[in-house]
Each structure stands twice: as structure tokens, then as C-alpha cells.
Amino acid sequence: MVKITGYYQLPGDLPQPVDFADLFNTSFMRRYTQYRSFDRFLRGGSFEIASQADFEALPESAMDAHVRHHTRFSSWKDMIDTATDLYVHQKLSKS
């Protein structure tokens, strides 16, 4: 599995890196998708991801189509926004 990183940002703060394995944890994936992990989600879309650059080069339209067919979201943006909101909420509640 390739480590993929994204970013989240709280108001007034600098963007913080987050590992997609943490953002799209098993609980999130089971609740909102047909997959147990983000890695399986990517493989299910037949996306060949060997690096961060490969992931970033994926056409958003292809991700949107995969998300629409295999999750409870209508777009990749909706999926990542929800995952980020939940992740930030969990981080803040632990503080």
C-alpha cells in the first residue's frame, strides 16, 4: 500500500498534513463505502497508484464516478470533505 497524504486546515491555522489511512479509517470506510480500506477503494476503481504523484494525477471525473457508484457520496469532494470534517472533529474532541 502506498502512503497517500492530504491536508486539512482549521480556520486561521496553516494546512496540516494527514495520512489518508487516518482520514479514511476503517470506521469511515465501512460506514460510507463498500470497502474496508482506502487502499481497497482505490483498487476497486482499477486505479494504479504507486506514488503520491500517481494519486494526484488521477482525473477528478474518474474519482467522482467511482465515488458515486461505490459510496454514499455524490462526488470525491463530498467524500473528502466529510472525512476531513470527521477527522478534525475527532482531533478537537481529544484536545
The CA-based diameter of the chain, rounded to the nearest angstrom, is 38
pLDDT of residue 12: 63
What is the C-alpha to C-alpha distance for residues 43 and 78, in angstroms, rounded to an integer? 20
Q: What's this model's pTM, rounded to 2 decimal places?
A: 0.85
The yes-or-no verdict on residue 71 having pLDDT over 70 is: yes
Cα–Cα nearest to 36, from 25, 46, 47: 25
pLDDT for the residue numbered 89:
86
Average of per-residue pLDDT values in the chain: 88
Is 60 exceeded by the pLDDT of residue 10? no
Tell me the percentage of the chain whose pLDDT exceeds 70: 89
Work out the pLDDT band at 87, boundaries 50, 70, 90.
confident
Predicted local confidence at residue 90, as pLDDT: 86
Give the pLDDT score at 3. 75
